[in-house]
Amino acid sequence: MTTRRRNVRVLVVHALLWSYAAVAFGPLLLVAIGSFRSNADILRQPVGLPDSLDLGNYVRAWETASISTYFANSLLVTVAAVALCVAVSAMAAYALSRWRFRGRALLAAFFLSGLMIPAKLGLLPVFYMFQSMGLIDTRPGLVLLYAASGVPFSIFVIMGFMRGLPGELEEAARLDGANEGRLFVSIALPLMRPALAVVTVFQFAPTWNDFFYPLVLMRSDSKYTVPVGLTRFFGEFATDRATLFAGLVIALVPLALVFAFATKQIIAGLTAGMSR
């Protein structure tokens, strides 16, 4: 009797889990399937399987809609911004968690308060500052902006990680006469690797995805990143759903790759707030 009741419960739970899996994955599946169908077919019957495996939509999206350009820009900006952000954050977090100096707590609080600042509200001043610095419509401008806005979260995660790390190795190296820069590069950085991985993965997605800054700061089509490029693409191909679906799939690929390889880091980053 009890085993039967337990079986029924397990069945119900699995039914619930599978139905939410359908909700989560269904829409993405519809987009993926749609990207292989012809436009006429989609308009006639919005839900259905492709007649044949036709890659024409992808070719059209990639070539005529200059998604390849947007893609290259996004990759360049994202990689540079994440690298810069992780580098400066690792240094600052190391100093803040290993050295004692006056104003340390204040400086840490200053960085961490950025977690609660809606940075986008500074857009207009950023716009005029960029104008005076000649950074409007440039990719380095975007890189600086993204790197800066990632600093609070990165410092938060790396400091949290360092707190749980004993300082003995560094102390031994210090006794051996290594200077602080040497210590950081050859001892601390390798130890920090798990935290750096979390930060990298976690900065990658929002930077790759951001739409707000390039919408305002970028002007020439040749420098657009994927999200801004997509708004143009959607205007151009408004009636050609098949090509739109293919474009969406192309835009999703890098993140799908990140997700496939870094689920562990993503989960660690999402739950970073819990270790406080």
Interface of this chain with other proteins, residues 48 to 77, rule: CB under 8 A? none
Per rule CB under 8 A, is residue 153 in the interface with other proteins?
Answer: no
Quick one: DSSP state of residue 48? -
* Out of 55, 72, 129, 185, the residue judged to bind other proteins by CB under 8 A: 129
Q: How far apart are CA 54 and CA 133, in angstroms?
A: 48
Helix axes 67-98, 226-236, angle to 10 degrees: 150
Per rule CB under 8 A, is residue 112 in the interface with other proteins?
Answer: no
Tell me how far the alpha carbon of residue 26 is from its chain's centroid.
23
Residue 40: CB minimum distance to other proteins, A: 11
Per rule CB under 8 A, is residue 27 in the interface with other proteins?
Answer: yes
Contact predicate 30/244, CB 8 Å? no
Residue 53: CB minimum distance to other proteins, A: 20
Quick one: DSSP state of residue 164? T
Contact predicate 56/246, CB 8 Å? no
* Out of 36, 58, 71, 94, the residue judged to bind other proteins by CB under 8 A: 94
Q: Is the dihedral of CA 173, 175, 176, 180 positive or negative?
A: positive
The site string for other proteins over 179-218 (x = CB under 8 A, - otherwise) reads: -xx--x--------------------x--xxxxx---x--
- List, as one string, the DSSP characters of 170-215: HHHHHHTT--HHHHIIIIIHHHHHHHHHHHHHHHHHHHHH--HHHH
| Interface stretch with other proteins, choices 44-52, 56-64, 65-73, 192-200 (CB under 8 A) | 44-52
* Out of 76, 79, 83, 84, the residue judged to bind other proteins by CB under 8 A: 84
Per rule CB under 8 A, is residue 92 in the interface with other proteins?
Answer: yes
Per rule CB under 8 A, is residue 5 in the interface with other proteins?
Answer: no
| Interface stretch with other proteins, choices 56-64, 65-73, 189-197, 267-275 (CB under 8 A) | 267-275
* Out of 35, 36, 41, 42, the residue judged to bind other proteins by CB under 8 A: 42
* Helical spans, DSSP H, in the chain: 2-34, 39-44, 56-63, 67-98, 104-112, 123-133, 139-163, 168-175, 180-183, 189-209, 212-217, 226-236, 241-270
Residue 33: CB minimum distance to other proteins, A: 10
Contact predicate 114/148, CB 8 Å? no
Q: How far apart are CA 275 and CA 233, in angstroms?
A: 42
| Interface stretch with other proteins, choices 49-57, 59-67, 108-116, 192-200 (CB under 8 A) | 108-116
| Interface stretch with other proteins, choices 52-60, 64-72, 192-200, 248-256 (CB under 8 A) | 248-256
| Interface stretch with other proteins, choices 53-61, 63-71, 174-182, 190-198 (CB under 8 A) | 174-182
